Structure 1
């Protein structure tokens, strides 16, 4: 069967992904239809004093000038402003949009998604309910009634756009679907390993943003690599413990794939969560203000995830709270309940040091 692909999302990372799969769909005609639809949230933009619809500009200039300026998209990537039209007829769906919009988007398309479709989520975050944090692949699966895997890794979008070598981890519960996504994503400079533990891979992708915010606090306080590496190591330990306690993820090997330690390190040294965590302390501005000023429409998840993680721990009781002092401290600094420098007390008193 020849697969038809739709990319649902067109931000910085979504546009990089569209470049990758666009090239592969053009080269692998026996496996994929050539045209790749990319759903674009329609906006008015101005380029050289001329106004365009964003989809119009992408389809005529083959560049997402707002979210990935300076990089050409393959001409077989077609920007579509109507998400229902974008997914119609496709059986391979790639979700790469801010996690808070996934549920709403799935509700919009659920009546027209093919019954034999399967999906993959590149969204790093959780869907928040009253009682828990739900991984995004489960949101897609439960809303659309199709299987959904995850792709996570040490993937700073602009570096991949530049062709610098990177790895990622693909997880699906159905192996042949994972192998199909490997064929869709693998390039000489972008290599994807396959694992079956979707939950662990997604939990890695969401929780590392919490740790990265803490790394930004360290940068703001002028601390060096010793301190940041302590944050990273302790953060990884809390990520693994949290994934096992709340999601039953007992295979810790997944945390040493690209989706785990590699993504954590990359984000703590080069990601937007660390950059804005630093500015949060230095400027005293809220994360919402900093997001608007510095991210050009992109979204932060780390401080929101920290809040929900804290609420899950608090609901479980004092013993649970004490087991995750770094997560708790990052949450409390984010809400200005404690000062950033108080983070170091949690490090000194961490159970890992007892």
Structure 2
């Protein structure tokens, strides 16, 4: 592939790691953010120490505070901003974008209140004549490992297979590999909802439970993620793939996962407000829990783990009581779908 110009919107941990992947592949990378000190640090020191204390970035990676400059003449725009500001940033992009680009996102969540997937937000806010079909980049991936070029396999999903293949070629190299998929609903719901289960898995660890409980919440968590996704039109097989069970494993078992760490702290008795303040990064699983709970209620989908986590976070239910309630739910067959 010939050199492409790519604007990466969001200089967080994942945006920075993906910028390095793209730079390694010979593309021109422009990181955009709204914190002047962070932009200056990337340009002057070639570091992003808020997220990676010991990593030095290639000096070819440039950072921008001006969005129109970052978007000038680019081939692709990658959104890696928190879910709650995705619509706002998309509106800002639409206001200054003056040519057609490939639009992709690598964030994981559901929009608060509307419960919409992020690709729907991008479709709504960026005019169709200025963008491709949206591509979702999602899968089992810790930024802390990708930034040191550890082997990572994830998914590029789009309604248009050729656009997904373009993104696959854009990113893939000897340590970072993408697989294509056309099930956007499945890939996005898997990426969003696994953060809820990761909070629960962390809480079990914080309470002192072992591997049996970990396997139980991951497996039954995947079952309820699949139930909701299929109700929204997803292919159930997607949840057996990288963006489904793969992402759930990596997020639900690792200290690198801020959702798992948040749950672990909850399990040890810390208050949510303190956890969020100490994390210093967005914990997507917290807001996604509310969105998924409300969506499940609206659609009549049985999601007992999500409901339990919702009650702990938003109704101050004691975690041990929540676990007791789940263990005493009515008996079910393993493959029941309601």
TM-score by length of 1: 0.87
1:188 to 167, 170, 174: 174
Matching residue of 2:259: 273
2:95 equivalent to 1:111: yes
Matching residue of 2:277: 292
Aligned residue for 1:64, secondary structure, equals coil
Cα deviation for residue 185 of structure 1 reads 1.0
Structure 1 residues 344 and 22: CA distance shift in structure 2, 3 A = farther
Structure 1 residues 72 and 78: CA distance shift in structure 2, 3 A = same
Unaligned runs of 5+ in 2: none
In 2, are the aligned partners of 1:89 and 1:113 still within 8 Å (CA)?
no
1:175 to 157, 161, 164: 161
Cα deviation for residue 85 of structure 1 reads 2.0
Matching residue of 1:49: none
Deviates more, 1:133-142 or 1:235-244: 133-142
In 1, are the aligned partners of 2:68 and 2:96 still within 8 Å (CA)?
yes
Number of corresponding residues = 326
Cα distance in 2 between the residues matched to 1:235 and 1:125: 16
Matching residue of 1:308: 291
Cα deviation for residue 19 of structure 1 reads 0.4
Q: Which runs of 4+ in 1 moved over 6 A?
A: none
2:147 to 145, 161, 175: 161
Cα deviation for residue 143 of structure 1 reads 0.4
Cα distance in 1 between the residues matched to 2:327 and 2:98: 50
Report matched runs for 1:23-102 at 5 Å: 23-24=24-25, 26=26, 34-43=27-36, 53-102=37-86
CA RMSD of aligned residues (A): 1.8
TM-score by length of 2: 0.91
2:136 equivalent to 1:136: no
Deviates more, 1:260-269 or 1:65-74: 65-74
Cα deviation for residue 164 of structure 1 reads 1.6
Matching residue of 1:239: 225
Cα deviation for residue 126 of structure 1 reads 1.0
Deviates more, 1:186-195 or 1:62-71: 62-71
Cα distance in 2 between the residues matched to 1:346 and 1:85: 52
Cα distance in 2 between the residues matched to 1:292 and 1:309: 23
Structure 1 residues 312 and 9: CA distance shift in structure 2, 3 A = same
1:346 to 323, 326, 329: 326
